[in-house]
Chain A
Amino acid sequence: MKTIFYVIQKEFIQVKRNKVMLRMIVMIPLMQMLVLVFAATFDLKNVDIFLVDKDMSSTSRELASKLEASPFFTINNTSFNPEEGEKELLRNADDMVLVIPHGFERNLIRDDKASLQLLVNAIDGQAAQLGYSYAASVIRDFNKNIIAEWKGLPEFKAPYQINTVSRYWYNSELEYKWYMAPGVLSILVTLIGLFLSGMSLVKEKEQGTIEQLNVTPIKKIQFLTGKLIPFVIIALFDLSFGLLIAKLVFNLPIVGSLALIFGMGALYLIGILGLGLFISTIADTQQQVMFVTFFFMMVFILMGGIFTPVESMPKWAQWIDQANPIYHFMRIMRMVVLKGSGFSDLIHEFVALCILGFTFLSLAVWRYRKTA
């Protein structure tokens, strides 16, 4: 027991002396929380429209001003030539081209119907769909009003009507930042934990101190535990630091229990650090650790469900995700922070983290050899 204490003490002194590492511990959460949470948003705020109004009627102008009035759309350019609009799409200068054909108003009055053309840049499918459906709903509303106005009829009312009023639970204002903050936080504690633990062991290899330790009677469990604990504490510090930033800057509501967040966080980090130690038992240099860690982080993040819901991934990918620690921890964070889920709601994630952690730690202990 005392041996572990001496290892922990040594690790803390080494972190304290390492100015770069100290800066990382403070700056990474600060930068990631402040930049990523603001930047990584799916909120549709600004769609640039290229307007081709060949009709130049009062109706077409009214439609244009309806679009302009919506907070999502800006009419960026106008022209009579649709081909110019296409060029703008190619240049990525505009997101949509709306073509109002000649005779739009006339057709509408005479035939009770008229056509419009909407060209959408769909490179980013999700943004395109969202933009399209917003635009379509503006046009639909416009359409409804026109019927009412022109025909002088009251808005059509069915005798029986089901009125749906939606209320969004757990994030009633659909505040995207609140959704992103726990996700970004999960990623950043993973990043810090994985790198710190991985680097610290391989550094001993590079400097040759590992040999000095291997001739001592220290047990490998003692050594690895001593390596693990300081970095769990540092990563938990970053977790609370990140939560504090989220609370102060985004006014993130932390609905669930903090004890549960930190308990799960500790469990999660022990596993992640186990993985870091395992990587550094395989690698011989810090560069190798960087490469391997980077690979794991990429897969974990992209499959973890921070941007794309895991539920819409193919089934096989969802199966693989069961072995992705970030996936589980991100779910826990979002559930506890935003919904106030309790431990009994998290049994599945808890078991998964236990299994993953146990696996990573066993691999590290098995792979670390005092005798080559």
Chain B
Amino acid sequence: MKEKVIEVRNLVKKFGSFVANDDLNFDVFKGEIFGFLGANGAGKTTAMKILCGLSSPTSGEVKVAGFDIYRETEKVKRNIGYMSQKFSLYEDLTIAENIRFFSGIYGITPKNRKAKQEVLLKNLDIESSKDSLIGSLPLGWKQKLAFSVAIFHDPKIVFLDEPTGGVDPITRRKFWDLIYETANRGITVFVTTHYMDEAEYCNRVSIMNEGRIEALDTPENLKKQYSAKNMDEVFLKIVRKAE
């Protein structure tokens, strides 16, 4: 459980004179659910994009899945999955076509794909909809599908950027069931969120404010440390203290 899958040292990202990530340092371990919390504009998405290789850091060292993100970007990309804030499967393709396309890009053979696709459809209980266009599905389904496609190639880490925005609590709860299953399979889940109840589900959380990580521990320890009833209070105390 102590194998490091993400190592971040002195990560800085600047946009002009604006410092989006100010000297971040943290590790993420294999199989854990790592919550990345912070207010809007705290720099969560920026940091996540750097970890995914979508954006290059200004300075600092970052290793993802054991590979250096500067020099081994393509190897990093083979080993990660990503689900962005903006829903991003092809709306004008069917479920099966989306799966076929992304499998093709990751080099999954058609035979493997078919077997895995069957499991996926069964798990999500949408076997009958495999030829429906993504655009015609309800948002909750889309999110679950996007997540399932993001881990279809069995990455070591999956990054989720506010994956449950805009859906009801029940759908969110179901989404978290998927996250648990994934973590149980040994895939590390790195998730950003605003929802403090979701923070409780994480193994460890970090709380960012104005580009800096202000706290990083298990939800229990954080609650103790800040003598708070729940993560909501922890979060408010940290953000107010910083102000």
Q: Is the CB of B82 within 8 A of A212?
A: yes
Report the minimum CB–CB distance from A2 to chain B (whole Å). Answer: 7
Contact among B80, B81, B97 for A10, CB-based, below 8 A: B97
Encoded as 1 (CB less than 8 Å from any B CB) or 0, chain A from 183 to 224 comes to 000000000000000000000000111011111111100000
The reply to whether B104 and A6 form a contact with Cβ atoms under 8 Å apart is yes
Interface of A is mostly: helix
Min C-beta distance of A315 to chain B, whole Å:
46
- Interface flag for B89 (CB, 8 Å): yes
B128 to chain A, nearest CB (A): 21
- Interface-forming stretch among B4-12, B71-79, B171-179? B71-79
Closest CB in chain B relative to A370 CB, distance in Å: 8
- In Å, the complex CA distance between A344 and B86 comes to 53
The answer to whether the Cβ of B88 comes within 8 Å of any Cβ in the partner chain is yes
Q: Does B91 contact A (CB under 8 A)?
A: yes
Chain A interface size, under 10 / 10 to 19 / 20 to 34 / 35 or more: 20 to 34
Q: A1-24, CB under 8 A of B: which get 1 and which 0?
A: 011011101100110011000000
User: Which B residues lie at the A interface, using CB under 8 A?
Assistant: 49, 52-56, 73-74, 77-78, 80-82, 84, 86-93, 97, 100-102, 104-107, 133
Give every chain A residue within 8 A of B78 (Cβ-Cβ): 217
In the complex, are the beta carbons of A208 and B84 less than 8 A apart? Answer: yes
* CB within 8 Å: A-B pair count: 83
A372:B88 contact, CB within 8 angstroms: no
Interface residue? A163 (CB, 8 A): no
Q: Cβ of B84: which chain A residues have Cβ within 8 Å of it?
A: 208, 211-212
B104 touches A215 (CB 8 A): no
The answer to the question of A308 belonging to the interface, with a C-beta cut-off of 8 Å to chain B, is no
CB atoms of A3 and B53 under 8 A apart: no
Give the Cβ gap from A264 to chain B, nearest Cβ, in Å. 32
Given A218-B105, A370-B54, 15 other A-B residues pairs in contact with their CB atoms under 8 A: A3-B104, A6-B100, A9-B100, A9-B101, A10-B93, A10-B101, A17-B92, A17-B133, A18-B92, A207-B88, A216-B106, A217-B105, A370-B73, A371-B53, A372-B55
Q: Is the CB of A209 within 8 A of B77?
A: no
Contact pick for B88, options A17, A18, A208, CB 8 Å = A208
| Chain A residue contacts of B88, Cβ below 8 A | 207-209, 211-212
